[in-house]
Amino acid sequence: MKRETVVVLDFGGQYNQLIARRVRECGVYCEIYSYKTEFEKIKALQPKGIIFTGGPNSCYEPGAPTYTPEIFDIGAPILGICYGSQLMMHLLGGKISKAPVREYGKIEVTVDRNSKLFTDVSEKTICWMSHNDYVSEMAPGFTAIAHSDNCPYAAMENTQRKLYATQFHPEVLHTQEGQKMLSNFVFNVCGCAGDWRMDSFVEQSITAIREKVGDGKVLCALSGGVDSSVAAVLLSKAVGEQLTCVFVDHGLLRKNEGDEVEAVFGPDGPYKLNFIRVNAQERFYSKLAGVTEPESKRKIIGEEFIRVFEEEAKKIGAVDFLVQGTIYPDVVESGVGGESTVIKSHHNVGGLPEHVDFKEIIEPLRDLFKDEVRRAGRELGIPDYLVDRQPFPGPGLGIRIIGDVTAEKVAMVQEADAIWREEIAAAGLDKTISQYFAALTNMHSVGVMGDGRTYDYAIALRAVTTTDFMTAESAQVSWEVIEKTTNRIVNEVKHVNRVLYDCTGKPPATIEFE
């Protein structure tokens, strides 16, 4: 049976992934495609509905993103948002102009509650606007269904052709009844059933994996992070002992993490995985000795990981499938596809090995957003503490030690980090802070301990709140918690005589120190 799908056609808007997530919150599967995707491909998907995103351009600009008007004739209802609404009007014969008053922010909009888009929405409702241009003349066949003080056509519809357009952004939370509007579009206009659920995802994936794998052998690199853990458990439920998981301990994990991963996935854990732990700490430390440049460190860790994994895989012999924990945000391409500057190379431990003998890759989580991966994990019975883990970078503590890495420095940062995590949890903050850790600055400073002078390291504490990890704010952790953590660190961790709290947001800093 064909999976009910809504397609988001991306014109370079900042919120493309948010739109897809909101649609999925309605229980409707949703995928994002660049506006550069051929029409035939979109048509072949037989979407139940299509959403045009916003975008930074003006639709009359030369080279501005556009789409073939044939899209309006495939029978699927279409909702255009912001730039998407202007493009819809433009392509169908309306007119776009520079708005006399630029609207930005929360704006009160009056809606026509008789429209299917606004069923159960308040007549006056706050919506998020962000535009310089606006629709000054609607395309033939459209009627206005919302206006604001400065925007006569804040929303429009052509019920006969099932086309809808909003100048505002229903997908952002600032639009107070935005989720209602999107759900109205998906259910009232597109007629979706809304049966995309994690339990059905898990069930269907297991069946599909079994079919694909047959009696083949499967190999998975397990890091203990959320994605690879969920992928491994899903695979083990599907093909049991045909799966082998290799866990490379690169010596840059948090305190006790290697043993914790082994306790869950190893022979004494609840999952019957063929689990191989490789203790490769020394190899990594010797490769990293004396290396201080952050990108070189990342590269060394990533490459060494693959070498270790390959060696282990060789011992197993030829396999048929290799599992990758790719998730949807890794797959989505931005519609505009500009060349943005590389701030840091986020290569994950677990990139593709070149010398492993396998036929095909399996990416069971390719369609899921992070929160959906967590839901699938819960569905599979993986314990909360694993499923709700904060993100941990592939290169691990290697990028939380500024400058060169040694076993002693790793031990120091592990201890300090464990204390910080304990205190954050004790204060009940672990659910509200998005990411928190200790880092070892490369700074020595003078201190006094007892009657003696010290010349020791400074630890930096970091805690941030964020929803997307692209921007972040330094978390306002109470002084009491910071003070207690500081006291414990200087007392319990040898060679640390100073603790600093990082108050910087992202930008201008990044979350990790390297």
Closest contact distance (angstroms) between CB of 435 and ligand XMP is 5
Q: Return the range that interacts with ligand XMP (CB under 6 A); candidates 84-92, 204-212, 339-347, 409-417.
A: 339-347
Respond yes or no: is residue 131 known to be catalytic.
no
Told to judge if 169 belongs to the known catalytic residues of this protein, a careful annotator would answer yes
As measured in angstroms, the least distance from the Cβ of 251 to ligand XMP is 16
> Residue 507: is the preceding peptide bond cis (ω within 30°)?
yes
* Options 31, 171, 512, 514, the catalytic residue: 171
Q: Are 16 and 172 in contact (CB under 8 A)?
A: no
Contact set for ligand XMP, span 269-328 (CB under 6 A): 298
**Cβ closer to ligand XMP: 469 or 501?**
469
Of 256, 261, 257, nearest to 273 by C-alpha is 261
For ligand XMP, the closer of residues 379 and 512 by Cβ is 512
Q: Does the footprint of ligand XMP cover residue 511 (CB under 6 A)? A: yes
CB of 134 or CB of 420, closer to ligand XMP: 420
DSSP assignment of 24-54, as one string?
HHTT-EEEEEETTS-HHHHHHT--SEEEE--
171 catalytic per annotation: yes
User: In the window 439-498, what residues touch ligand XMP (CB under 6 A)?
Assistant: 469
Shortest Å distance, C-beta 347 to ligand XMP: 6
CA distances from 137 to 89, 190, 329 (A): 8, 26, 37
Residue with tokens 């919120």: 15
Give 62's contacts (C-beta < 8 A, 6+ positions apart): none
Rule CB under 6 A: say whether 417 interacts with ligand XMP. Answer: no
Catalytic residue among 26, 30, 59, 82: 82
- 221 φ/ψ angles, rounded to the nearest 5 degrees: -90, 120
Q: Which stretch binds ligand XMP (CB under 6 A): 13-21, 114-122, 202-210, 506-514?
A: 506-514
Give the Cα separation of 243 and 217 in Å (integer): 6
Q: Which amino acid is at 418?
A: A
Q: Which residues pair with 460 in a beta bridge?
A: 439, 500
CA distance 365 to 325: 6
- 231 token code pair: 């992928």
Piece in contact with ligand XMP (CB under 6 A), picked from 54-62, 229-237, 409-417, 503-511:
503-511
Report whether 153 contacts 145 (CB < 8 A): no
Write down the least CB distance from residue 506 to ligand XMP, Å.
Answer: 5
| 389 interacts with ligand XMP by CB under 6 A | no
Kindly state whether residue 391 participates in binding ligand XMP, applying the rule CB under 6 A: yes
Residue 34 C-beta: closest distance to ligand XMP, Å: 24
- CA–CA gap between residue 143 and residue 122 (Å, rounded): 19
Taking CB under 6 A as the criterion, the residue among 326, 435, 486, 497 binding ligand XMP is 435
Among 13, 55, 258, 395, contact with ligand XMP (rule: CB under 6 A): 395
- Shortest distance, position 229 Cβ to ligand XMP, whole Å: 14
Residue spans of alpha helices (H) in 319-446:
328-331, 370-379, 384-387, 407-426
Q: Which residues are catalytic?
A: 82, 169, 171
Residues that bind ligand XMP (CB under 6 A): 298, 344, 346-348, 391, 393-395, 435, 469, 506, 510-512
